Amino acid sequence: MAVNADRVYRGQALDDRRRDRRERFLAAGVEVFGSAGYANSSVPQVCRAAGLSTRQFYQEFTDREHLLRTLYDQLQDRTMAEVNAKVLERIAAGDEIDGILDAGVRAFLAVYHDDARLVRINFIEVVGVSSDFEAHRQRRRAQWGELLQAAATVGAEGGLALSAATPLQWAAYIGAVNATIVEHALDPAITEADVVDTMRTLLRPGILGAADPT
């Protein structure tokens, strides 16, 4: 007899229970990796933080690195979506270039604003985990370059004076952004306004060119 996918266990659909279990592991990963650090963590630590068993962990993730990569990808996807939406929204509204750039930078920062653990996970703990993870991070950086260049192209087509940037220039910018975010997290004297100004300057007059004198 076929098993109904919507079957219920202790009053909760099993699909809902599995989603809840996965979310608990993800939240535990944020706590453990973002507080103790990835290198100082273990699967049993994550399980204790989640209040779940190691057997349940391995039903969701192949290993600790898989959990870290899932968290990293969630942050990357969320940040890319929010930056892209904000920049395109401001371009469509006919804003000036500096206002568009500031809006994009602030959308990026907003993802990490209230939780220093996310900064640690996304910019520190993921570095040097494994050769496979480094290759994955390189692919994600390339995706960022493609997204930012696509947004710049939309702006240029709409009449904004913007230079085209190469993939290498975007890679350099993304690396600088990562370093800036880490410095901001480590030094309370660095304000969000400092970060916005620095990241905007890297873009313009940086890789997107100086302001149109006209």
- Please report where in the chains the tokens 């750039």 appear, as a residue: 101
Neighbours of 77 (CB within 10 A): 12
Whether 112 and 190 share a structural domain: yes
Whether 51 and 72 share a structural domain: no
Cβ contact 97:33 at 8 Å: no
Whether 196 and 155 share a structural domain: yes
Residues spanned by the domain of 39: 10-61
Pick the residue with more confidence: 8 or 158?
Answer: 158
Region 133-156: mean pLDDT is: 95
Whether 88 and 166 share a structural domain: yes
Could you give the CA distance from residue 214 to residue 36 in angstroms, rounded to a whole number?
A: 53
pLDDT score of 145 more than 70: yes
Whether 57 and 93 share a structural domain: no
4 within some domain: no
Region 3-29: mean pLDDT is: 77
Q: If pLDDT is split at 50, 70 and 90, which confidence band does 2 have? A: very low
Output the pLDDT for position 10. Answer: 57
pLDDT score of 8 more than 70: no
Region 126-140: mean pLDDT is: 97
Whether 176 and 119 share a structural domain: yes
For residue 26, which of 77, 54, 62, 60 has the smallest C-alpha distance?
Answer: 60
Whether 125 and 56 share a structural domain: no
213 within some domain: no
2 within some domain: no
Q: If pLDDT is split at 50, 70 and 90, which confidence band does 113 have? A: confident
pLDDT score of 132 more than 90: yes
Structural domain total, the chain: 2
Output the pLDDT for position 209. Answer: 82
Whether 97 and 177 share a structural domain: yes
- Please report where in the chains the tokens 């990357």 appear, as a residue: 76
Output the pLDDT for position 124. Answer: 95
List the beta bridge partners of residue 12. 9
Q: If pLDDT is split at 50, 70 and 90, which confidence band does 5 have? A: very low
3 within some domain: no
155-189 residue pLDDT tens: 999 999 998 899 999 999 999 999 999 999 889 99
51 within some domain: yes
Cβ contact 185:120 at 8 Å: yes
Q: If pLDDT is split at 50, 70 and 90, which confidence band does 11 have? A: low
- Please report where in the chains the tokens 């975007």 appear, as a residue: 170
- SS in 3 state form for 175-203? HHHHHHHHHHHHCCCCCHHHHHHHHHHHH
Domain at 168, CATH number? 1.10.357.10
- DSSP letters along 31-65, please? HHHHHT-STT--HHHHHHHHT--HHHHHHH-SSHH
pLDDT score of 3 more than 50: no
Residue type, 113: H
pTM of the model: 0.89
Output the pLDDT for position 210. Answer: 66
212 within some domain: no
48-91 residue pLDDT tens: 999 999 999 999 999 999 999 999 999 999 999 999 999 999 99
Residue 79 DSSP class: H
17 within some domain: yes
Give the relative orientation of helices 167-186 and 131-157 as an angle to the nearest 10 degrees: 110
> Tokens representing 182?
């880490």
